[in-house]
Structure 1
Amino acid sequence: MKKTFFLFLLFANTLFAQSVDDLFDSANDFYKNEKFEKAIELYHQIASKGTISVELYYNLGNSYYKINKVGPAIYYFEKALKLDPTNEDAQNNLIFAKRLALDNIEELPKNIFQKINVNYLQQLSYNQWAIVSVVFSFLACILFLLFYFANSSAKKRFYFGSSIVGFLLLVISFSITYNQFLFFKNNKEAIVFAETSAVKNAPTFNSEDVFILHEGTKVIVLDALDNWKKIKLADGKQGWINAKEIKEL
């Protein structure tokens, strides 16, 4: 009975994989033939099955870019970079997509620690940093065991020093992992999807407009109240926007 059930699961998983692959191939064919709306429809079908990848988000971004949908194009290029921050194709196409956005928001000057965080540490996600921490933990443990079982004093000194370095790297990488997790948890990014959106000074429709945003602008979500989101721009401006007009990454 167990064997039959296992074979059934294996067969079902194989059919599911073939179905997703067939959809992806069909969507790519539609894209090549410039039938971008149909390609988008099939890409979303793949995503609805729980199958996500850099390639899927990247292709969705390209498809939306081709039909001049700035908000969704930027959104899916950003989603691709969430999975792989080093993907050069997504980085380059995101630059082109942002040129179509109307809002030109200048970022506040960054201090040296913020620059290091953006330019280097954020090149890996916190999940990837967690893997680095695990690797260093194994390395440190192995070096300590080699120190413990070494016969000569020279080898003991070498392995002891190396294990100390390994444990220091473990502590540093774990600290980076934790800080990156807190950063992404407390800095929820979103993309404006509405063509034009009025940002208000309070979470009500009759409150005063403080500034206007357009499709494709990235914002940081600070808080939520009913159907409103409190947002912050790269230049430091803050306000409340209708939750339906943005989409969180």
Structure 2
Amino acid sequence: MKKFIYIVLLLCISAPSWAQKTPITEANNLYKKGEYEKAIKSYEFVLETHLISPEIYFNLANAYYKTGQIAPAILNYERAKLLAPEDKDIQYNLALAHDHVLDKLDIVPELFLKRWIAGIRNAASAQSWSYFSISFFIICLLFLSIYLYSNKSGFKKAGFLFAFLSLSFCIIFFAFASIKTNEMTVREHAIIFTPSVTIKGSPDLSGTDLFLLHEGTKVKVIDQLGDWRNIQLSDGNEGWLKKDDIEMI
């Protein structure tokens, strides 16, 4: 019995020291000390173990930014934003990093309604929209039960109306969650990692030179052929580059 108590006491005493040696804690401590290169390696190690969170991507992006590596910083800010689109710190730091990108591209204007819906959808994560969808489905069932079991016509009408509205919101929020989930699983956007790259008119080194892009620029991959990727810019221009010139978000 005494031996068991000693073992429990030893575990309790040593538990804090184990916690201090976790990879995430070690990476955070290195960042706080200003040892950013070592922190980068530690955060990358954590991500390689498939422990993914917006906080880890955000801290890794900050470490890259502190060392002047803008393209990796933007890449990881974008990955953090995918997981936590509502986070203001991520949005602010991403905007700061974009100020260092040489390419200043125009954005093709979208219809107001489409832009408005996208703004609402991007205001929350896929997980949050899922919770909203489930919540409104439960609310829909509650109002539906009022409609089915109430003896008063006023309650039945109100129950039917609110059940219909709740179901509508449930479907809308489910659609938002599905789109956000698809954005995380099917990555279409990438960041230029080459200091400068000439965009070709065809997937061939002998193709016509169209324009020049620099590291840190965000592009959308719309097609691929072998080692070549067909990319589209926010201003609508398209072209081809080698897959080694970009890193998928």
When the two structures are superposed, what TM-score results if normalisation uses the length of structure 1? 0.85
Question: Within the alignment, does 1:51 sit opposite 2:59 as a pair?
Answer: no
Residues 181, 60 of structure 1: CA spacing in aligned structure 2 closer, same or farther, 3 A cutoff?
closer
Match of 1:161 in 2: 161
Deviation at 1:30, TM superposition (A): 1.4
Deviation at 1:93, TM superposition (A): 0.6
Question: Within the alignment, does 1:22 sit opposite 2:22 as a pair?
Answer: yes
SS of alignment partner, residue 222 of structure 1: strand
Deviation at 1:65, TM superposition (A): 0.3
CA displacement, residues 145-178 of structure 1 (integer Å, 9 cap, x when unaligned) = 1221223333222222211221222333344445
Question: Within the alignment, does 1:202 sit opposite 2:202 as a pair?
Answer: yes
Match of 1:239 in 2: 239
| Aligned-partner Cα distance in 1 for 2:41–2:222 | 32
| Aligned-partner Cα distance in 2 for 1:101–1:174 | 36
Letter in 1 for 2:143: L
Deviation at 1:222, TM superposition (A): 0.2
Deviation at 1:21, TM superposition (A): 6.8
41-50 vs 108-117, which moves further: 108-117
Match of 2:188 in 1: 188
CA displacement, residues 61-84 of structure 1 (integer Å, 9 cap, x when unaligned) = 000001111110001111111000
Report if aligned partners of 2:143, 2:162 keep a CA contact under 8 Å in 1: yes
Report if aligned partners of 1:189, 1:218 keep a CA contact under 8 Å in 2: yes
SS of alignment partner, residue 207 of structure 2: coil
| Aligned-partner Cα distance in 2 for 1:134–1:37 | 43
| Aligned-partner Cα distance in 2 for 1:173–1:80 | 22
Report if aligned partners of 2:39, 2:63 keep a CA contact under 8 Å in 1: yes
Residues 239, 21 of structure 1: CA spacing in aligned structure 2 closer, same or farther, 3 A cutoff?
farther
143-152 vs 174-183, which moves further: 174-183
CA displacement, residues 216-245 of structure 1 (integer Å, 9 cap, x when unaligned) = 000011011111111000000000111011
Report if aligned partners of 2:200, 2:209 keep a CA contact under 8 Å in 1: yes
Aligned positions of 1:107-118 closer than 5 A: 107-118=107-118
Question: Within the alignment, does 1:101 sit opposite 2:101 as a pair?
Answer: yes
Match of 1:146 in 2: 146
Report if aligned partners of 2:20, 2:26 keep a CA contact under 8 Å in 1: no
SS of alignment partner, residue 213 of structure 1: strand
Letter in 1 for 2:103: D
Structure 2: tracts of 5 or more residues without a match: 1-14
Letter in 1 for 2:102: L
SS of alignment partner, residue 210 of structure 1: strand
When the two structures are superposed, what TM-score results if normalisation uses the length of structure 2? 0.85
Residues 31, 179 of structure 1: CA spacing in aligned structure 2 closer, same or farther, 3 A cutoff?
closer
Residues 120, 102 of structure 1: CA spacing in aligned structure 2 closer, same or farther, 3 A cutoff?
same
CA displacement, residues 75-101 of structure 1 (integer Å, 9 cap, x when unaligned) = 111111100001111111111111111
Match of 2:120 in 1: 120
Length, aligned pairs only: 233
Match of 2:74 in 1: 74
Match of 1:11 in 2: none
Structure 1: tracts of 5 or more residues without a match: 1-14
| Aligned-partner Cα distance in 1 for 2:165–2:205 | 58
Report if aligned partners of 2:187, 2:248 keep a CA contact under 8 Å in 1: no
Residues 182, 83 of structure 1: CA spacing in aligned structure 2 closer, same or farther, 3 A cutoff?
closer
